[in-house]
A = this chain, B = another copy of it.
């Protein structure tokens, strides 16, 4: 009887330990902070969402950040190009119809890394990336097929989102890469270095 109880307790704690780890968003270990292009690609690959900053025609042309899920590949491969699934009903879409110059901002605090390490989200050691560029609808059919595969693999829920919302696949055509992952100020990474690196 006593042994049975002990076993049940063990089982419960085991299960709760798995539950906890599945609730936290864990990414693989990051590259070294000195490997700037790799760190940029790490953030744009493993993050599932970010804030798209744009100018809002609805709010007197004020800056407006909207939450968007994205994917630059399946988990196993990475292109560096963030693809989005945007409904014409959304604020993001209204903003980019007015002006498609946007910035996508990602924080390492989206994973459990910074909490685990005890880094405040504003500290440079809790890395962050801003990708500047133009948000454009994907028209090429080969790229569209690929982008949909990336999005539906990383965000399975998207496949069931209401068809009536007219979801459109967009790509952020990056023109600037700004990374802060250590003390001493942000790094500006060239597009060729960014695309040549692996996450």
Query: Which A residues have a C-beta under 8 Å from some C-beta of B?
Result: 6, 9-10, 13-14, 16-17, 20-25, 48-49, 51-56, 59, 62-69, 85, 89, 91, 101-105, 107, 109-110, 112, 115-116, 118-123, 126, 128, 130, 132, 155, 157-158, 161, 176, 178, 185-186
Q: A64–B175 Cα gap in the complex (Å)?
A: 13
Known: A23-B24, A24-B23, A115-B24. A63 touches B67 (CB 8 A): no
Which residues of chain B are within 8 angstroms of A186 by Cβ–Cβ distance?
Answer: 91
- Please tell me if the beta carbons of B20 and A24 are within 8 angstroms of each other in the complex: yes
Q: A112–B123 Cα gap in the complex (Å)?
A: 21
Q: A120–B25 Cα gap in the complex (Å)?
A: 12
Residue of B nearest to A134 (CB): B62
Which residues of chain B are within 8 angstroms of A119 by Cβ–Cβ distance?
Answer: 157
Which residues of chain B are within 8 angstroms of A118 by Cβ–Cβ distance?
Answer: 157
- Please tell me if the beta carbons of B51 and A155 are within 8 angstroms of each other in the complex: no
- Please tell me if the beta carbons of B23 and A130 are within 8 angstroms of each other in the complex: no
- Please tell me if the beta carbons of A68 and B122 are within 8 angstroms of each other in the complex: yes
Q: A89–B56 Cα gap in the complex (Å)?
A: 27
- Please tell me if the beta carbons of A110 and B110 are within 8 angstroms of each other in the complex: yes
- Please tell me if the beta carbons of B17 and A67 are within 8 angstroms of each other in the complex: no
- Please tell me if the beta carbons of A67 and B132 are within 8 angstroms of each other in the complex: no
Q: A105–B89 Cα gap in the complex (Å)?
A: 19
- Please tell me if the beta carbons of A55 and B63 are within 8 angstroms of each other in the complex: yes
A176 to chain B, nearest CB (A): 6
- Please tell me if the beta carbons of B49 and A53 are within 8 angstroms of each other in the complex: no
Residue from B54, B128, B178 within 8 A of A63 (CB atoms): B54
